[in-house]
Amino acid sequence: MTTAMKKVLTGNNSVSWGVKLSRVQVISAYPITPQTTIVELLSEMVANGELEAEFIKVESEHSAMSAVIGASAAGARAFTATSAQGLALMHEMLHWAAGARLPIVLANVNRAFGPPWSIWTEQTDSLAQRDTGWIQIYVESNQEALDNVILAYKIAEQVNLPVMIVLEAFVLSHTNEPVEIYPQEMVDEFLPPRENPLYVVEPGNNYAVGSLGGPDVYMEWRYKMQKAMERAVDVIKTEGENFGDHFGRKYGLYEGYMLDDADIVLVSAGAFTSTVKYTVKHYRKETGEKVGVLRLRAFRPFPHDALREALCCRKKVAVLDRNISFGHHGIFYSELKSALYRLKDDKRPPMFGYILGLGGRDITPKDIREIIEDVKTREEIEEDIIWKGVKP
Amino acid sequence: MKEKFGLHNLPEAPVTLETTLINKTGSWKNIQPVLQESTAPCTAACPAGIEIPLYFDMLIRGRFDEAAKILHESNPFPSITGRVCPHFCEQKCNRGYFDEAIGIRGIERYLGDLYLDKKWSPPDVTRDEKVAVVGSGPAGLSAAHFLRKKGYRVTVFERDQKLGGVLRYGIPDYRLPKDILDREIEALKREGIEFKTGVEVGKDISFEELKNSFDAVFFGTGAPLEREMRIPGEELFIKGVEFLKDVNTGKIKKFSGKVAVVGGGNVAMDVARSLLRLGATPVVLYRRTEKEMPAIREEVERAMEDGIEFKFLTLPVRAEKKNGKIELTNIKMKLGEPDETGRRRPIPIEGSEFTEEYDAVITAIGELADLSIFPEDLLNKKGWLDVDLRTTATKDDRVFAGGDLVLGPATVIEAIALGKRAAINIDRRINGLELKEFRPFEKVVEYKKIVLDYFMEEPRQKQPEVPVEERIRHFDVEEVGDYTPEQVQKEALRCFSCGHCNGCGTCWVFCPDMAIGWENDQPVFIYDYCKGCGICSAECPRDVIQMVQVRTF
Amino acid sequence: MSFWYNQVPMEENFNSGHLACQGCGATIAMRFALKALGTNTVVVIPACCWTIIDGAFPAHAIKVPLFHTAFETAAVVASGIKSGLRIRGKGDVTVMAWAGDGGTFDIGIQALSGAAERNEDIIYVVYDNEAYMNTGIQRSSATPYGAWTTTTPEKHPEDRPKKNIMEILAAHSIPYQATATIAYPEDFIRKFKKARDIRGTRFIHVLSPCPPGWKIPSDVSVKVSRLAVETRVFPLYEIEDYGEKYTINYWPKGLPVKEYLKIQGRFRHLTEDRIEYIQQFVDRQWEKLVLKHKLSHGTLDNIPKNVIYR
C-alpha cells in the first residue's frame, strides 16, 4: 500500500479530493461562489483522466440536482455541490432525491441568502433544507471535509438517503490547511463500488419509479424514510468508528471538546467551532472554570439520544447559532431544546441561545469569551434569542 | 385496489410491482367495436352477387386458388363474363368516384383463364333425383353446374348441334373466342353433366314427357326470336340473331356492300361490328339518341372507334327492292317525354321522311323468347311465362326458368345468376323446403363511408388492346388482351375492399389501448381493455367496424 | 403489399390497462415510439398526463423502465440517467425524455435548452396537446392562437401564436429534429428509428390530440392529426445536420385550416375573420418552411406528394 500523502488544500479542494477518492461516477454542478473551486478541481480531475467520471455542466442548480438524481437512479455514484441560492433552487429536487431514496452526496458551502447580496458564510441555507429528507453533516476542518465525503457515501448507500456535507464559506472553503490524502486502495477497501441499490433504472428492470402513490400507500413510504433516518443515527456512529479504525480519524454524531467534566457547555456547528475551542481552552487555563464544547456534526438525523446523554445534568448550555429561523430562534438552539425536553427537570440544564456571525461577520475569541461571561450571569431562560454583536 | 398494501409488502422505494394489465379498463366503455361486414357496391350491383372484395382479398395475399374458388362460387364462367360482361360492378365501384373504377372484369377474366382447365370437381352424385336443363346458354349451364354441385344428376338438352346457346351463336369471336367457350363447356363435362345436343323440346321430346322423366326441369331457352318491325317491305330484311348465328357457325364468311343495321342494342352492335369485319359497310340506324342506346356502353364506344356510322333519331318506315338494292325510307324522330323505361320516347317528325339505298338491311330491334313449348297454364295474362324472379319458380312446382327466357334480352351474368338461383330453389323444392327469395342487398357501403385518406390516386391498369385499324380486319382475333399478373396485383391493391375486412391492420395500428389482437389476418377485440374510443371504427378505411352500445344510462 | 403491420412493428412494448382517456393521442404516440425504439430503452417522464397514464402504484404500463420526475426536469434527468448508464458501460441504452408541452415549452425549457446545448445523448419527445391537460386544460405557450382553454375563456381566447419550439431547438444546433403525428405511423416510426441511431440530442415534436381538451369526440384523434398535417398547421418535417438541413417529409394537400379548426370544439367560437387570420399565419409559416427546404435541397421536387399506406 502506498503511503498517505499530505497536501495543503482549501476546504473546497479537500471536498474535491474526497469525491475523487470516492470514485464518484457522475458529477453535475452549476457555479456559485463560494462553491466554485470544488467543481473546478473536479473538472480538471475528470478532464485529465484522474477521475473516471462524467461531468454534466448544467445550466442551473435545479438541473444539477436533477442530473445527479438521474445518474444515481441509473446506478451510478453521483455528486454535486452548491451554496445558498443554488441550494434553495434545488429545494424541489432535494425532496425528489430523498423520496426516490437515492444515495447522492452534496457538498453545500454555507452562504447567506440575499438580499442584500452576500457571498459570506451563514448556516441558514442548509438548515432551511431540514425537512427534505437529507442527512446533514457539518464539518469543521478541511480534513474532516475530505473524510466526510467518503463517509457520506458509506452512510448514504446503506440507508438509501442522500447526504449533505456542509462546510462554511471562505472560513473553510477557501482556507488552506494541510490535509492527508489517503491512498486510493485504502479508500477502495473502506468504500467499495456502490452496492445493492434499491433499484436501477436500466433495461431489464421494467418498473416505474415514483408512480402516483395514493393516500393508501404514501404514508407508509414516508414512514420508511423516517425509519431509514433513524437507522442512519447508528450508521453514522458505526461507520464513523470504522473510519477511525481504517484511516485513524474517528467521527461521531457530535464531537466533544473538554466536554467530559464541563459545567458550562458551548454548542456550535461548523468551522467557527475552532474559535470556540480555542477560546474555551484558554479560558479554562486562565480561570480554571469547567467550560467545554460540543460540536454538532449530524443535524439530520438529529441525534436526540446521544445529545440528551451528553448534555444531561450540565449546569448551563449555550448554543451558538450562525443562522436564524425568522419568527423563531436560532435553529440549532430550538432543535436542541426540543431534544432535551425529555430530560427530567432536575437534569435538564438551562439553555441560552446566541445568534452571531450572520452573513459572514467574524466570530472572534473575544466574542466567545463575552458569551461565556454572559452565560455565567444567567440562571433562567429569560429570552430565546440573545443577539451577539448587533451594532446599535 | 384489490391488494391491501402496508409496510410488510411495500418496497422500500416507490417502485411499481406489476403491469397495468390488472386494470380492466374495458369497464369504462359505453360503446364497443364489432367487426360487421357489409356489402360492397360492386357485389350489390352484380346480378350474381359476386363477392368481389372477398376474392380480391385472396388475390392480394397471393392465395389465387381461394380467390378463384370464391369467384366460381357465384360465377362458374368467369372466363366468359370476364370478356362480355357489361360489368355493372365497375359502374358502381366506389373507387370510380375517387379516380377510376377497379378493372374488376379484367381481373375476373385473368383468374377465370388461369383456372379454365383446372377447375375443381364437384362432389360425386349423392342424390337420386334427376334434373333436366333445357337450353345450354349461360342460364342453363349455370343451373346445370350448381345442381351438379349439389349432387344431382343433371341432363342438359340443347336443340342445336353445339353447346353454348347465345354464347356460341350470338357473341362474335372477337369478343369471345370459341376456344374459351369450348374449354368452359369441357369443364362442365368433366363435372359429370350429361349433354344431349340436337334434341328440341316440343319436337323431339314433349314438355310433359320431360317433366315426367325428371324430378325438376329448368328452362333456359333464351330469347332467340327477332322482333318484327311491322313495316312494309320487312321481308327484305335479315334478322339480326339469325345473321349472327350464321356468322358464328361459319355459314357467312364474307359480306359486302352498304348495310343498314336497325336498332341500338347489343345485337345491333354485334351485327354492325361483325359486318365491318366481314367486309361490309354498316350504318346503324337508331330511333333515339346515343344516350338512350340499350347496348353495353363499351360496345357502342368500340363500334364508334371502329368507324361505324351511326344515324340517330332515324326510324325505317318502309322498304322496297330496287335494282338489286333495298330502298329504305326513314323518318326523323325527336325525343318526347320519358316512357316507362325512363328513356325519352321517340316521336316521328312529320314530313321528315328520306330515302336511302342499302345492299342489305339487318334488324336488331329486340329479341323474344320462344314460348310455344310451354302449356298455357304456365303463362300469364300477357302471354308471357309466369315466373317469380325472386325464386325462378313457375306455376308448376317442378318447372323453373331463368335467363333471357324470363328477362328478355339481358346479360350473361344475369342469366348465370338466375341459373344459380334456380339450382338453389330446385334443391330446396326437392327437399321440401320453402323457396329462397333473393332480394337486393340492404347494407351497401356508401362512398362517403370510405376513409379516403388511406388511398392514393393511382390510374387503373389497362388491358392490352389490338389497335383499331388492326382489329377491324379480323373477325376471330380477340380485341382485348389479358392483364399481366403484376397488373392484377396492382389493380387488386387499388380496391377499397368496401365493407370487407382485408386485414389491412388500420384498426390495430391506431388502437390506443392495445385492445385489438390479430388472429387469422383479422382484428380480434379485447373487450377487457377496450375503452370504446371508436378510433378503430372511425379509421377503418372500408366501414367494417361498427360501434355498438354496451351500456345505457 | 403494404399492409400496416409490414411497416409498423408487431412488437408491443406497452400494456393495456393504462389510465389514458379514450382516444388519447399521447398514448398512441408512446405505442409507436416504443415499437420503434425497442426495449433497450429507458423513459423519463415529468409531470404531465403521462404521469397518470402509465398507471398508479402498483401498476406500470410500458414495458421499459420509467423514472418519474419533477415538471421541469425531464431533459436533465434523462441526461443524468444517460451519463449514469454510460459510465456503467451501458451507453447503448436509448434514454428518452417524454414530456408534455407545459414541461417542454414552458417550465422545462431551461433544462431542455441546457441539455440540447450540451448535445446530451438523449431523445427528447414533446407530446404536445397544446395546453395543461392534466391539470384541467389551462393554456400553455404551446396553445395555438384562438384556442379556448379554461384560462383563455371564449370571451378572451388565446391571443398569441404558439411558440415555435422547433425553431428554438434548431437554434441549439442539435443533430436531429423532427415533427410527427400519430396519423402517419410509418413516418412516425421511421423518425424514431432514425433518432435512435443518431448520437446527441434528438428532439421530436409530436402533435398529440386530446379529446377532452380539444373538445373532440374520442374517435377523431387520428383524423384531426391528419388534418393538422393536410392543412399545414402541423407539417411533417425534419431538421438535420445540427439545425442546418430542413426536409419536408410530405407535401400536404393544403386543405383550408378551417377543416382542421371546425371539428374541434376549442375553436368553435372563432369568427370567419379570425379563421382567415389563422389561415394567413399558417400560410406564412408554411412558406418559410418551404423556403428552408429549398435552401437545404436546392429543389422542392424531392418532397413526396403521397404517403405510402393503405
Percent of chain A with pLDDT over 90: 98
How far apart CA B74 and CA B423 sit, in angstroms, is: 12
**Contact by Cβ (8 Å): A18, A46:** no
pLDDT at C310: 39
Helix (H, G, I), strand (E, B) or coil at B368: strand
Percent of chain B with pLDDT over 70: 99
For B400-427, write each residue's pLDDT tens digit: 999 999 998 899 999 999 999 999 999 9
**Contact by Cβ (8 Å): A37, A10:** yes
Chains with ≥3 Cβ pairs under 8 A against B?
Answer: A, C
pLDDT at A1 over 80: no
How far apart CA B165 and CA B80 sit, in angstroms, is: 13
Q: Provide the CB-side half-sphere exposure for C203 (13 A, CA).
A: 33
Report the interhelical angle of A218-247 vs A84-99 (nearest 10°). Answer: 110
Q: Is residue C187 part of a domain?
A: yes
For B152-199, write each residue's pLDDT tens digit: 999 999 999 999 999 999 999 999 999 999 999 999 999 999 999 999
Interface test with C, best of A22, A25, A26 (most C CBs within 10 A): A26
**Same CATH fold assignment for domains A5-205+212-247 and A254-387:** yes
pLDDT at B552: 62
pLDDT at B391 over 90: yes
Q: Which residues does chain A have within 8 Å of residue B12's beta carbon, measured at their own beta carbons?
A: 101, 160, 198, 224, 228
pLDDT at A183 over 80: yes
Higher pLDDT pick, C120 / C307: C120
For A298-346, write each residue's pLDDT tens digit: 999 999 999 999 999 999 999 999 999 999 999 999 999 999 999 999 9
Smallest Cα distance from A299 to chain C, Å: 27
Q: Which residues does chain A have within 8 Å of residue C76's beta carbon, measured at their own beta carbons?
A: 56, 58, 63, 66-67, 70
Residue in B540, B459, B477, B552 with CA at minimum distance from that of residue B177: B477
Residue in A154, A189, A11, A186 with CA at minimum distance from that of residue A77: A154
CA distances for A310 relative to A129, A307, A337, A349, C123, angstroms: 26, 5, 13, 11, 55
Percent of chain C with pLDDT over 70: 97
Q: Which residues contact A298 (CB under 8 A, 6 or more apart)?
A: A135, A136, A137, A233, A236, A253, A254
pLDDT at A132 over 60: yes
For A192-249, write each residue's pLDDT tens digit: 999 999 999 999 999 999 999 999 999 999 999 999 999 999 999 999 999 999 999 9
Sheet arrangement for strand C66-68: A208-209, C66-68, C41-45, C94-100, C123-128, C202-207, C176-181, C237-240, C245-248
How far apart CA B536 and CA B514 sit, in angstroms, is: 11
Percent of chain B with pLDDT over 90: 89
C305, three cell numbers: 406528394
Q: Which of B17, B533, B535 sits opposite C58 (nearest CB)?
A: B17
Output the 3-class SS for C106-130: HCCHHHHHHHHHCCCCCEEEEEECC
Q: Which amino acid is at B486?
A: E
Categorize the per-residue pLDDT at B4 as very low, low, confident or very high, splitting at 50, 70 and 90: confident
Q: Which of residues 181-210 of A touch B (CB under 8 A)?
A: 198-199, 207-210
Smallest Cα distance from C13 to chain B, Å: 10
Q: Which residues does chain A have within 8 Å of residue C87's beta carbon, measured at their own beta carbons?
A: 25-26, 52-54, 71, 76
pLDDT at B3: 55
Smallest Cα distance from C70 to chain A, Å: 7
Q: Is residue C172 part of a domain?
A: yes
CB atoms within 10 A of CB A289: 13
Which residue of chain A has the CA closest to B8?
A: A220
For C220-279, write each residue's pLDDT tens digit: 999 999 999 999 999 999 999 999 999 999 999 999 999 999 999 999 999 999 999 999
Q: Which of B14, B20, B515 sits opposite C61 (nearest CB)?
A: B20
Determine if residue B543 is left, alpha or beta; phi over 0 gives left, psi from -120 to 50 gives alpha, anything else beta. left
Q: What is the mean pLDDT of chain A?
A: 97
B131 pairs with which residues across the strands?
Answer: B154, B216
Cβ–Cβ of B5/A217 closer than 8 Å? yes
Cβ–Cβ of B20/C54 closer than 8 Å? yes
For A40-62, write each residue's pLDDT tens digit: 999 999 999 999 999 999 999 99
- How far, in whole angstroms, is CA C240 from its chain's centroid? 17
Cβ–Cβ of A210/B1 closer than 8 Å? no
**Contact by Cβ (8 Å): C174, C120:** no
Q: Which of C23, C59, C226 sits opposite B533 (nearest CB)?
A: C23
- What is the rounded average pLDDT of the residues B434-445? 93
The domains of chain A are located at 5-205+212-247, 254-387
Domain span at residue C170 reads 25-297
How far apart CA C132 and CA B175 sit, in angstroms, is: 68
Q: Which of B1, B10, B17 sits opposite A221 (nearest CB)?
A: B10
CA distances for C31 relative to C125, C147, C188, angstroms: 13, 28, 11
**Contact by Cβ (8 Å): C242, C198:** no
Please say whether the structural domain A254-387 has been given the CATH code 3.40.50.920: yes
A76, three cell numbers: 451510478
- What is the rounded average pLDDT of the residues A263-276? 98
Residue in A269, A296, A266 with CA at minimum distance from that of residue A284: A266
CATH of the domain spanning A5-205+212-247: 3.40.50.970
For B283-319, write each residue's pLDDT tens digit: 999 999 999 999 999 999 999 999 999 999 999 999 9
How far apart CA C15 and CA A98 sit, in angstroms, is: 30
How far apart CA B42 and CA B51 sit, in angstroms, is: 8
Q: How far apart are the first and last CA of chain A?
A: 59
Cβ–Cβ of A66/C90 closer than 8 Å? no
Helices (H) and strands (E) in chain C, counts: 11, 9
Q: A220 at the C interface (CB within 8 A)?
A: no
For C3-38, write each residue's pLDDT tens digit: 776 789 999 999 999 999 999 999 999 999 999 999
For B196-255, write each residue's pLDDT tens digit: 999 999 999 999 999 999 999 999 999 999 999 999 999 999 999 999 999 999 999 999
Indicate the number of domains in chain C.
Answer: 1
Residue in A249, B514, B107 with CA at minimum distance from that of residue C15: B514
Interface test with B, best of A206, A216, A221 (most B CBs within 10 A): A221
Dihedral angle of Cα B184, B188, B189, B191, to the nearest 10 degrees: 140
CATH code: domain of residue C112? 3.40.50.970
pLDDT at C307: 66
- What is the rounded average pLDDT of the residues A63-86? 98
B480, three cell numbers: 382485348
* ipTM of model over 0.95: yes
Q: Is residue C15 part of a domain?
A: no
**Contact by Cβ (8 Å): C255, C301:** no
> Exposed e or buried b for every residue in A344-381, given b needs 16+ CB within 10 A?
eeeebbebbbbbbbbbbbebeeebbebbbeebeeeeee
Helix (H, G, I), strand (E, B) or coil at B205: strand
Q: Is residue C40 part of a domain?
A: yes
Q: Is residue C9 part of a domain?
A: no
Q: Which of residues 96-155 of C touch A (CB under 8 A)?
A: 110-111, 113-114, 117-118, 120
DSSP C164-184: -HHHHHHTT--SEEEEEETT-
Categorize the per-residue pLDDT at B120 as very low, low, confident or very high, splitting at 50, 70 and 90: confident
Categorize the per-residue pLDDT at B475 as very low, low, confident or very high, splitting at 50, 70 and 90: confident
How far apart CA A205 and CA A319 sit, in angstroms, is: 49
pLDDT at C1 over 80: no
CA distances for B483 relative to B81, B177, B277, B489, angstroms: 15, 17, 25, 10
For B483-532, write each residue's pLDDT tens digit: 999 999 999 999 999 999 999 999 999 999 999 999 988 999 999 999 99
B68, three cell numbers: 378463384
